Amino acid sequence: MTAHEPSMETLREQLGEGLRRLAAPLVGLLGRLSVSPNAVTLAGGALALVAAGLVAAGRPLAGGVVFLAGSALDLVDGALARAGRGPTPFGAFLDSTVDRLAEGVVLAAVAYRFALAGEAVHAAGVVLALLASVLVSYTRARAEALGVPCRVGLMTRPERVVVLGAGLLLDLLAPAVWTIAALSALTAAQRALHTWRTLSGR
């Protein structure tokens, strides 16, 4: 794609590595307690449901804190799996499924709050954000099924989590939702173009 994408990917990897180092003590503790990675994944999903309930109840700040805490467990489950017997196919499936659930329920709660406030345009923006976010995941899955590595793009899940979490914490939900919608749509387009170029060059 562009000259910026490799540096973006490197930045993500460096940030992820730094966060994994911060999470290492918790990973070690959970390992000693024989907590399974799948249990951590499910705990993250449960926290997302709690966050959605808080947002729906009109408590976005508390919802944002719980949402970010649950999202942080996404780092822990993978590190815990690698520290043990290694990631399993079902663990990867469960992790991806819970990730989609976590984003979906919190965004649904945001749409509910917009609907209650009579802000139909922003509620529609949430629907677009959800659609674009699903397309980001779908384009990667389809590309990789065709043998094309496809991690390019500006707005992957970590960025969406940060933007949505910041929107909840700072009470800036409308800008957060439209940012996710626009940049996720751009990312899906970047991935489609990347896949087309790679397959055309074979």
pLDDT tens for the 202 residues of the chain, in order: 444 445 566 666 655 565 566 666 666 667 677 778 888 899 999 999 999 999 999 999 999 999 999 998 887 877 787 776 667 888 889 988 999 999 999 999 999 999 999 999 999 999 999 999 999 999 999 999 999 999 888 899 989 999 999 999 999 999 999 999 999 999 999 999 999 999 998 6
Tell me: domain 4-200, CATH 1.20.120.1760, correct? yes
Domains in the chain: boundaries: 4-200
pLDDT at 88: 81
Where in the sequence numbering do the catalytic residues fall?
Answer: 99
**Alpha carbon distance 18, 155 (integer Å):** 20
Q: Given the structure tokens 């780092």, which residue do they identify? A: 75
CB atoms under 10 Å from CB of 99, counted, come to 20
Contact 51, 103 (CB under 8 A): no
pLDDT at 1: 45
**Alpha carbon distance 93, 156 (integer Å):** 18
Both tokens of 44, joined, read 């993250």
HSE, CB side, 13 Å, CA atoms: give it for residue 97. 8
Closest CA to 70 of 96, 107, 35, 41: 41
